[in-house]
Structures are given as structure tokens and as C-alpha cells.
Chain A
Amino acid sequence: EPEVTQTPSHQVTQMGQEVILRCVPISNHLYFYWYRQILGQKVEFLVSFYNNEISEKSEIFDDQFSVERPDGSNFTLKIRSTKLEDSAMYFCASSEYREIPLHFGNGTRLTVT
């Protein structure tokens, strides 16, 4: 069964550094999402992306965050200047149509020290 793949599985970075989290959505999917989950807390929506542009973003997704689909397969989340509170599991998800369920990747655990 097709999968959403995320790399790396774990990223450690120092506060103030830039990080890029990478995702390869399922190939025929058109809608792409980033979610995050701080340890022990709920899954939080960050951003949705369709037709090469952001379709919706949450209040968490401030100017420090950006997303890009640099080619036909990758979908990236960039955090420009990481803060301690950015430490979380970041999940990429995709769906073929807007209404149907999300397929989640295995996540990237980001640790900011």
C-alpha cells in the first residue's frame, strides 16, 4: 500500500537554526498537510497545501514557517529560526480529495536544544 514517507525520523537542532522537514506524499494525492504534536498533547493543524499554494493555515503557522513543493514529489516544511517550543513530532499527511481521510507519515521528531 502506498505510504507517506518523512525524513529524517529525528532531527536535533540548536535554537535559532533553520530546519527543513521533508515529506513525500502518496503520488496521486493532491492535498498536503503538516500537523504537529507536542509530547503528550493533541495533534494540531499547521497548514494545508493544494495546487501549489497554501489553502489554509493555523495561528501556529506564523512567519517562521514556510512550505514548499519544490518538485513533483517532495513537500517540505521549513522553520526559519527554531525556538525551544518548536520541539514536537511533525506529521505530514496527504489526501486524494479534500473530504477524504488523511494518510499520515511516520513523523519527524524535532528536538530544539
Chain B
Amino acid sequence: QKEVEQNSGPLSVPEGAIASLNCTYSDRGSQSFFWYRQYSGKSPELIMFIYSNGDKEDGRFTAQLNKASQYVSLLIRDSQPSDSATYLCAVKTNAGKSTFGDGTTLTVKP
């Protein structure tokens, strides 16, 4: 089982729609959860982080965490073509190592 698993994608949504990105993780001791956006050829850029169960909203982005189900998601409301990128889920354990998922490529079509 992969340590961090993301829905394989690619995911395509029309402009203005909600994009839903999902991630599961295997280490129950994981404490911190991050979503990064990576444009082709660029470095990962932090979008959201969440530490506690529940929802966390920041503008058009909402991160959802369910530790019992070992599941974290990212919702992007009112998707824009500029949101087209690969979204990386990262999970940090108590040891401090961040493990990344394979990423989900999102395309927002105008």
C-alpha cells in the first residue's frame, strides 16, 4: 500500500465548477496534512494545510480532514483556468518527513 495515495486523474472540470481532489494515507501517526500546487516545470507551492479533523476554508479552497478514515481532500470552488496544475497531497509524520502522493492533474476548461 502506498503511504500517500491520490485519485489518479487526470481530472477535468469546466470553468466555474467545483473540483474535488482526494487523498488517503496509511500512517495513523500522521499529524500534518498539506496540499501543494505544482505547475509544470516549477516547484511545489503550498495551497492549504490542515492539522485537525474537519474543514478549513481559505478563499476558494477548502481542505477536509478525517483522521479516522485517514482521508484528506481539497475542494476548489469556482475553478479557474489558472487552477490547472498538478495538486500534490503531502503528509507529515511525527518524525518530520513529508511524504508526497503521485499528484492529481487538474485541467479547468474555459
Q: Are B88 and A43 in contact (CB under 8 A)?
A: yes
B residues within 8 A CB of A102?
34, 44, 46, 90, 98
List the count of A-B residue pairs having beta carbons below 8 Å apart.
Answer: 57
Q: What class of interface size applies to chain A in its complex with B? A: 20 to 34
Assuming the A-B contacts A43-B44, A106-B43, are A101 and B96 also in contact, with contact meaning beta carbons closer than 8 angstroms in the complex?
no
Which residues, 46 to 71 on A, are CB-close (under 8 Å) to B?
Answer: 48, 50, 55-56, 58
B side interface size, CB within 8 A: 23
Q: Which of B45, B49, B96, B102 has the most CB of A within 10 A?
A: B96
In the complex, A41 Cα to B86 Cα: how many Å? 11
A33-B95 Cα distance, complex, nearest whole Å: 13
Interface positions of A (Cβ within 8 A of B):
31, 33, 35, 41-45, 48, 50, 55-56, 58, 91, 98-107
Interface residues of B (CB under 8 A from A): 31-32, 34, 38, 42-46, 49, 51, 88, 90, 92, 95-103
